[in-house]
Chains A and B, each alone.
Chain A
Amino acid sequence: GNSVTQMEGPVTLSEEAFLTINCTYTATGYPSLFWYVQYPGEGLQLLLKATKADDKGSNKGFEATYRKETTSFHLEKGSVQVSDSAVYFCALSDPGANSKLTFGKGITLSVRP
């Protein structure tokens, strides 16, 4: 079956530090890959996505590249802000299964001033 593995958290960084959150996946077929963010007290929001190999998704300074050879979709940001503090979920969508999403466990990012 499909699965998504995220690095263990939580992660605490100082403002303007570089961020990498690792995500690897196992899937049959050709899934689309997503990063969702959940700010405190709010629902999940789509941060970025990539639908095929070598695609790069980007939004709000965050980037992730769909790497088929390493089955990875690591999230990066060059300079984090306090407002980036949230829980980040990596997910994949199986186009052959009604676009059901399989989520990783999520990782909490705290950015201190």
Chain B
Amino acid sequence: GAVVSQHPSWVICKSGTSVKIECRSLDFQATTMFWYRQFPKQSLMLMATSNEGSKATYEQGVEKDKFLINHASLTLSTLTVTSAHPEDSSFYICSATRAGLAETQYFGPGTRLLVL
């Protein structure tokens, strides 16, 4: 149990376009979802934390108008990279926690974004 999926697994887009990434908890209800960014050979950097039905909490230095997060249900969160630029190219990973097990995050497989 505790499977998290992401879609798409990879995406290539032109500079200036917007890209939406979905994160789903397949077999549990996610009380909280997290979005991370991972640069090559580096650690995961937390971008934002979202709870269902409320606004996401962004980490310092992350532009909330550029990285739009919507957590519309207990099984789905989306990250939209608006007006993407080449510097936004990265590996985006989501995770989710379930009720009663808030300390354990279950990670999705990640989405690789390449902006040309």
**Which A residues fall within an 8 A CB radius of B?**
32, 36, 42-46, 49, 51, 89, 93, 95, 98-106
Contacts and interface: CB of A to CB of B under 8 A. Distances in A.
A18 B106 CA distance: 28
Interface residues of B, number: 22
Interface string B96-116: 010000111111111000000
Contact of A100 (B34, B42, B106, B108): B34
8 contacts: A43-B108, A44-B93, A46-B105, A98-B57, A99-B103, A101-B34, A103-B43, A104-B43
* Chain A contact residues, majority secondary structure: strand
A103 B44 contact: yes
B88 to A, nearest CB: 20
The 5 closest A-B CB pairs, nearest first, are A43-B109, A44-B107, A43-B107, A103-B43, A105-B43
A44 B107 CA distance: 6
B77 interface: no
Interface string B47-87: 00100000001000000000000000000000000000000
A26 B43 CA distance: 17
Contacts of B30: none
Nearest to A87: B41
A110 B6 CA distance: 27
Scoring A36, A101, A102, A104 by chain B CB atoms within 10 A of each residue's CB, the highest score goes to: A101
B34 to A, nearest CB: 7
Nearest to A93: B103
Nearest to A95: B103
B44 A49 contact: no
